[in-house]
Structure 1
Amino acid sequence: MTRRIDRLSEDDRVLWNLVARTAKPLKGKAAIVIPDIVVDPKPTPVPAVGSPVVAAKPKTQHVSHALDEPTLDKLKKGRLPIEGRVDLHGMTQDEAYSLLFAFLHRAHAGGIRYVLVITGKGSSSGGDGVLRRSVPAWLSTPAFRPLVSSHDHAARNHGGSGALYVRLRRVRA
């Protein structure tokens, strides 16, 4: 009898990570703690006494990646197909980040151009939702830059301010 060795697909790996985070150790067993990797920031040089202090120019962290108007109008009116969608409702930031990255990576590899990311509108207590604020910032980070070309808020019929249209970059041959 031969033993079959299966490799986990990206979907299975994401699902397993979501489930593994909710697991509790058995009574009497110690939980395995995996330390986070901490990168020490570069020490800032201390200016000498009496030397003039020059303020450093702040780096622009967030770059606007809005969709162009004709494309946005076509998406809103349904003339441009949304080829994939992912719903991040009810997830923690870590779970949502993992799922979003895996989803966009698969969609990009599959040659998909336009996807809908549903974040939800947030808590009913009047505040903005955490994912609603975080996802646009994530899409502008270096991790997502090779995948995402631009993004913008969705039309009302696609979720309004609780969803985003995302245009993925073309796959280079």
Structure 2
Amino acid sequence: MKDEDDPSLFAQEVAGIKPLERGEVYLGKKGPAVDFQARKRAAVIAQEADSNHLSHDYVQKVLPNDMLEYKRPGVQDGVFKRLRQGKYAIESRLDLHRRTVAQARELVYQFAEDCLRNDIRVAVIVHGKGDRTPDPDNQATIKSYINKWLRDLDMVMAFHSAQRHHGGLGAVYVLFKKSEKARLENWEKHQKR
């Protein structure tokens, strides 16, 4: 018994087929010439319009009860400890409950920009634990993205899961870097001593 992929089977199937004449082939109408420079300019403009570099592609998943923590080099251990313990006054808050990943991406980016612009040093982002999602594969989705996005934002110096009274494992404290204005004021204050 011969295998079904036998070349003779193919030959039997195509027996009697004759090639089309050149005039019988329909290639479609020739469209207008494509202006690749215009497309390139449009792509650059679209990219500049969306300065949000936070990715909503693949993200390493965290579990609903995982603690989030991150500290950039140069952040003092004492500062990070006080952040972790919730000892800093929370100057701003963002709640991401019932948001899609795309909505959360936009809100987190804008929130970080606003905090830097308004000299806010410590904020809390409530992302939820994501443990009430019926699909185990989609649990802690926003939490997982927060863990990645905050690391990708240059203005974020550190973050840590919040204390229970601020949302616990469903929220994160964020320490933002000082704006240039605040840095200059701090420098001038210490020079007068």
Query: TM-score normalised by the shorter chain: which range applies?
Result: 0.5 to 0.7
User: Out of 98, 104, 109, which is 2:117 matched to?
Assistant: 109
Q: For 2:99, what is the secondary structure of its paired residue?
A: coil
The separation in 1 between residues aligned to 2:160 and 2:86, in whole angstroms, is: 15
> How does 1:132-171 map onto structure 2 within 5 Å?
132-141=143-152, 144-145=153-154, 147-171=155-179
C-alpha contact (below 8 Å) 1:151/1:166 kept by paired residues = yes
The separation in 2 between residues aligned to 1:115 and 1:79, in whole angstroms, is: 12
1:90 correspondence with 2:98:
yes
Unaligned runs of 5+ in 2: 1-42, 48-68, 182-193
1:129 correspondence with 2:132:
no
Aligned AA for 2:101? Q
Aligned AA for 2:109? F
CA distance 1:78–1:133, change in 2 (3 Å)? closer
> What is the match of residue 82 of structure 2?
74
The separation in 1 between residues aligned to 2:157 and 2:117, in whole angstroms, is: 14
When the two structures are superposed, what TM-score results if normalisation uses the length of structure 1? 0.55
The separation in 2 between residues aligned to 1:69 and 1:131, in whole angstroms, is: 28
Unaligned runs of 5+ in 1: 1-34, 39-63
Cα RMSD between the aligned structures? 2.6
Of structures 1 and 2, the larger Rg is shown by 2
State the shift of 1:123 in Å: 3.7
Which has the larger share of helix?
A: 2
State the shift of 1:79 in Å: 3.6
Aligned AA for 1:170? K
1:118 correspondence with 2:129:
no
State the shift of 1:65 in Å: 2.6
When the two structures are superposed, what TM-score results if normalisation uses the length of structure 2? 0.50
The separation in 1 between residues aligned to 2:76 and 2:144, in whole angstroms, is: 21
The count of corresponding residues between Structure 1 and Structure 2 is: 110
C-alpha contact (below 8 Å) 1:153/1:160 kept by paired residues = yes
C-alpha contact (below 8 Å) 1:119/1:132 kept by paired residues = yes
Identity of aligned residues (%): 26
Q: Quick one: higher RCO (CA 8 Å, sep 6+), 1 or 2?
A: 2
> What is the match of residue 108 of structure 2?
100
